[in-house]
Amino acid sequence: MRIFAALLLMVATIATAPALAAEEARPERIVSLNLCTDQLLIALAEPGRIAALSHLSRDPDISYYAEAARAFPSVPPDAHAVMRHEPDLVLAMQHSARNTVALLERLGYRVLDLPVAERLADVGAQIRALARALGEVARGEALIAEMEAALAALDPQPSTNQPTAIVYQANGFTIGAPSLVDDLLAAAGFHNLARDLRLTRQGRLPLEALIYADPDLLIIEEARVGSPSLADQLLRHPVLERARPRSTVRVSADLWTCGGPFSVEASRRLAALRALAPWEDAR
Amino acid sequence: MTGVAKTDRLQPIALASRTQGSWLFIGLTLFILLFFALSLSLGRVPLAFFEALGALLEGEDTLGAIVLYEIRLPRALLALMVGATLGLTGAALQGYLRNPLAEPGIIGVSASAALGSVLVFYYGLAAVFPLALPLGGMAGAFVAVLLMHLLAGRQGSALGLILAGVAVNSLAAALTALALNLAPNPFAATEIIFWLLGSLADRSFTHVALAAPLMALGGLVMLTLGRALDALSLGEETAESLGVDLGALRLRLILGTALGVGAAVSVAGAIGFVGLIVPHLLRPLVGHRPSLLLPASALGGAALTLVSDIAVRFAPFGPELRLGVFTALIGAPFFFYLVIRLRRETW
């Protein structure tokens, strides 16, 4: 009896859900389930069309648009909560919120599942795909052109003697290649030392191995400032200040946790640093 | 004159155990020195040890010297002191409770100290007032050792003590998990493994400075218990007739345990079984005398912890093991052995 009732409910929901035929229509109530799609959506869509964003979008440590995101309701990765916003487009990113996405698709909701930006070059493709779904093609192309111009302006002098850099994150993780961060370092004219350590994507680097790698620039990615954890305490180990006293920089993760127009800003800041420091002397 | 005759008869035995004992102490000290040096020279990165040591002594800032001084030296020092504290506390608790299974880990003192540390660390108190970290650990340890006293006491059976320990342990672990899940930092929830299994990886001199003086103080308090525990091993009434103040003994034991274990756990997490294995292995070697067993167990605990902390660095895959994983792998079978032996004889 109960199963029958559940089935009936399901049929009713499917019937009332937005029909697949409406796919070409311009979406006006968009829900995003992922931090990265949240930020692309904010960059591309009028605020009036955003129905809800993921709760991570409000976190200033990892979300570049945290301030702007506070204007919108936040939604947990839960199909029921999403349905309550009656979305005509749900944004998700591959590898995340899989159960919710599968359920929403089965219920007939229109879901745009963007691929993860593995490289800097993928960000443009992401923007293009989302812009098409939003009916904001011109705006998307303008944004991409803006990004490309900003990157071209960095012009890392192709030198054989590139300064080396390494990114150190909470819990002692570092970022290798291929990755968005590796591309951003290269765009700023730094050689990612994690490549030489044969780390792909993300890998754990023991503290003493980090010191021994001896990068010219140590980029410490700040985790939650002000709320203590052992993961964060590691980033404050006295050895980090002592081994590289003049060339340690602390960056907030919001610029490169996701790819977006703002990611270029990370490269721009690092390039400025590169222009400043006397790297040959540091060696 | 009967007193003299009695002394004469006892003298040879005491002497024998003393010479035997001094060899034991020399051996343990040499062992510790060797493994302390190994702890400095072995790690994830191959380090030219003597070169680095030379640079360090000459005050040069080479990478080797920095790694040696800032990463490996605090780690080895903490292994030494945490191990000594755990071994010593195990011996003192076993002597006082006259219970072979008493140990800071098993009776829940370590887990409670971890809870205390977690509360002050993750909710920001230790960030504004660093000494709050060991104080939190000490408060947790104090509550647990007091609870143990009320629940099992000196008259209690071995079984009663273990059952009380199970209760305190599970409550403390559950509250620790709860506190970490509610903590404002998203990484906190995954860090329960550090607090429940312990680790000395990537500790710094900040931790040494916070915990070492308190561990030393707790150790000193417990080392003064030797004579009283010797008398107590002859029975409670005999001890009292020999002038042992049981109330004062109890108070010093509780304070020493809280100071030492609280401070140790607050920087290294709860490392189990060291306080169980070490006194048992050494007891026959010191002629079953608590006054000798206390310092011997301090040395033995330091030795075992140094060895374990070297072993965990060489896990074949992935990040290094937690220290408590290794001590449990040797400690738990030992615990089984003790339980089986206890079934046959009363201690």
CB spacing of B187 vs A207 below 8 angstroms = no
The 10s digit of each residue's pLDDT in B93-148 is 999 988 888 899 999 999 999 999 999 999 989 988 999 999 999 999 999 999 88
Q: Which member of A208, A226, A228 has the closest CB to residue B71?
A: A208
Q: What integer pLDDT is reported at residue A202 of this predicted model? A: 81
The upper half-sphere exposure of residue B95, i.e. CA atoms within 13 Å in the direction of its Cβ, equals 34
User: Which residues of B lie closer than 8 Å to A, measured between beta carbons?
Assistant: 43-45, 47, 61, 63, 66-67, 70-72, 121-122, 124, 126-127, 183-188, 190-191, 194, 201-202, 204-206, 318-320
Q: What integer pLDDT is reported at residue B277 of this predicted model? A: 95
Structure tokens at B26: 């020399």
Asked if B29 contacts B42 with a C-beta cutoff of 8 angstroms, the reply is: no
The 10s digit of each residue's pLDDT in B306-345 is 999 999 998 776 678 899 999 999 999 999 998 888 787 6
Q: Which member of B70, B188, B320 has the closest CB to residue A229?
A: B188
CB spacing of A209 vs B318 below 8 angstroms = no
CB spacing of A230 vs B126 below 8 angstroms = no
CB spacing of A234 vs B202 below 8 angstroms = yes
User: For an interface test with B, which of A204, A227, A236 has the most B Cβ atoms less than 10 Å from its Cβ?
Assistant: A227
The 10s digit of each residue's pLDDT in B258-294 is 999 999 999 999 999 999 999 999 999 998 899 999 9
User: For an interface test with A, which of B67, B119, B121 has the most A Cβ atoms less than 10 Å from its Cβ?
Assistant: B67
Q: What integer pLDDT is reported at residue A245 of this predicted model? A: 59
Q: What integer pLDDT is reported at residue A20 of this predicted model? A: 44
- pLDDT, mean over chain B: 89
Q: What integer pLDDT is reported at residue A278 of this predicted model? A: 67
How many other C-beta atoms can be found within 10 angstroms of the C-beta atom of residue B115? 29
Q: Which of B193, B235, B198 is nearest to B83 (CA)?
A: B198
User: For an interface test with B, which of A55, A202, A233, A242 has the most B Cβ atoms less than 10 Å from its Cβ?
Assistant: A233
What are the boundaries of each domain within chain B?
73-344
What's the ipTM? 0.82
CATH code of B73-344, in short, is: 1.10.3470.10
CA-based radius of gyration for chain A: 22
Q: What integer pLDDT is reported at residue B307 of this predicted model? A: 96
Q: What integer pLDDT is reported at residue A160 of this predicted model? A: 64
Inter-CA distances, A151 with A60, A128, A252, B249, Å:
24, 18, 20, 73
Q: What integer pLDDT is reported at residue B190 of this predicted model? A: 87
What is this structure's pTM? Answer: 0.85
Q: What integer pLDDT is reported at residue B18 of this predicted model? A: 58
CB spacing of A232 vs B185 below 8 angstroms = yes
Q: What integer pLDDT is reported at residue B8 of this predicted model? A: 42
State percent of chain B over pLDDT 70: 91
Return the ∠ at Cα A239 (arms to B263 and A223), rounded to 5°: 80
The amino acid at residue B86 is L
Q: Which domains does chain A have, with CATH numbers?
A: 26-150 (3.40.50.1980), 158-282 (3.40.50.1980)
In angstroms, the separation between the Cα of residue A257 and the nearest Cα of chain B is: 16
Q: With a cut of 80, say whether residue B9 has pLDDT above it.
A: no
Q: What integer pLDDT is reported at residue A250 of this predicted model? A: 86
Q: How many CB pairs under 8 A join A and B?
A: 85
% helix, strand, coil for chain B, step of 5:
80, 0, 20
On whether any CB of chain B is under 8 Å from the CB of A230, the answer is yes
Mean pLDDT of B208-230: 96
Which residues have C-beta within 8 Å of that of residue A27, sequence separation ≥ 6? Answer: A49, A87, A88, A89, A110, A133, A134, A135
Q: With a cut of 50, say whether residue B2 has pLDDT above it.
A: no
Would you write out chain A's pLDDT as a tens digit for each of its 283 residues?
455 555 544 444 444 444 444 446 789 999 999 999 999 999 999 999 999 999 999 988 889 999 999 999 999 989 999 999 999 999 999 888 899 999 999 999 999 999 998 899 999 999 999 999 999 999 999 999 999 999 998 876 666 678 899 999 988 899 998 899 999 999 999 999 999 887 777 888 889 889 988 899 999 998 666 688 888 888 889 998 888 656 888 888 888 889 998 999 999 999 888 888 666 544 4
